[in-house]
Amino acid sequence: MTPRLSAPAAIAIALAALVAACSTTHPVEPAGTPGAVAAPDVRTVLERYVSDERAQDELDSLATWTSEEGATWLIATAKSTHRLVVFDADTGRRLREVGQEGTGPGQFDRPNGIAVYGDYVFVVERDNHRVQVLSLPDFAPVGMFGTKELRSPYGLWLTETEPGELEIYVTDSFMYGRKFDEVPPLAELDQRVRRYRVQFDQAGRLRASYAGSFGDTSTDAALRMVESIAGDPANDRLLIADEDRRHESTLREYSFSGKYTGRSLPQDSFGAEAEGVALWSCAGGGGYWIAVDQLAPLTIFHLFDRTTLEPRGSFEGETTAHTDGVALHAASTLAFPSGALFAVHDDKSVSAFDLAEVARVLQLSPDCAQ
């Protein structure tokens, strides 16, 4: 099968960065952050919906896919039940579950990060140490890669470098110790992000090659616990979340070549773990990064300028809490003409925010509310 990008899906891929990715389940009690964390000016944006709760799934990361008929799916990874859960993105109605626990094609073991390219869905499996690729809408297995290199993968982000050719970045948060809570020596942290090149031939067969790893190894800026990652090709920028609050939880900026730029998001931006991250691209090349501050009783979503990374506002919902993954779907849907931000709520359900309402409440650029 030749990769096909439906118009809505193509727009969504170009405008959204997925996470994938998102709550690293290392059994660590976060240490307190020295000094007071500056309280953001937080506005309220009410959720358009919060889906029915099912705690047994332990939902983590999200991605969207739009069919030829215009229906949009919200696909979530369910870590504890080892499957994917499909929701109607417009209503939050649960449509189906896919997969079961196992090591074979179409089976999963602790699925975590997820991303969609055309009619393919990429799923990171932490405990199968691989990325599995399935076709949509039937979820037929296409192939897998990464088993030789990946040790404890969590999140991924992909970008199309040429038609049918992808570059894929996978975060690998392997840890040591009896409780798997010990960060590896600094010298090993250059393996925190692994890069793959993936192609699909005319028959739809997958070919993948390993292109090496990267990560800063300095005491101040090394990536200690990683999961969420997202990119912006227009600005040669990757943002990678480091969740280790024993040091500092923030998003660090890398170039596509794998070089740490020396910049991170403002130090006092996050009161809890920096989690999911998505890029909201707007007309004229502008836009915003949306980053999750994994708080309870309510998650705070911080917005940063796409180019300068300066803070541009923060909001919370009425219900959404302890968020792991987010997916930004900027393409129009029946219920969300200006697009939507989807978020995991407390590992149990998914919620949706209307991007037009976010832009109105935070007084963002009108280019982002079309």
* Host domain of residue 211: 7-24+36-368
What is Dmax (Cα atoms) for the chain?
A: 57
216-223's contacts with Cβ under 8 Å and 24+ in sequence apart are: 216/189, 216/190, 216/252, 216/260, 217/186, 217/187, 217/189, 217/190, 218/186, 219/186, 221/252, 221/260, 221/262, 221/264, 222/186, 222/189, 222/192, 223/189, 223/192, 223/193, 223/252
Query: Whole-angstrom Cα distance, residue 52 to residue 5?
Result: 31
**The CATH number of the domain where 169 resides is what?**
2.120.10.30
Question: Is residue 2 in a domain?
Answer: no
Domain count, the chain: 1
Question: Is residue 57 in a domain?
Answer: yes
CA nearest neighbour of 312 among 285, 340, 289, 281: 289
223: how many CB neighbours lie within 10 A of its CB? 27
Question: Is residue 31 in a domain?
Answer: no
pLDDT reported for residue 31: 37
Cα angle 316, 321, 327; round to 5: 75
Q: Which residues of the chain have pLDDT under 70?
A: 1-40, 267, 370
Question: Is residue 29 in a domain?
Answer: no
Question: Is residue 341 in a domain?
Answer: yes
pLDDT reported for residue 143: 97
Question: Is residue 294 in a domain?
Answer: yes
Is 39 in a helix, a strand, or coil?
coil
pTM of the complete model: 0.89
Residue indicated by tokens 């609050």: 245
Question: Is residue 1 in a domain?
Answer: no
pLDDT reported for residue 3: 43
Write the pLDDT tens digit of every residue in 42-92: 999 999 999 999 999 999 999 999 999 999 999 999 999 999 999 999 999
Consecutive H or E run containing 15: helix 7-15
Backbone angles phi, psi at 356, to 5 degrees: -65, -40
Residue 236, phi-psi category: left (phi > 0), alpha (psi -120 to 50), beta (remainder):
left
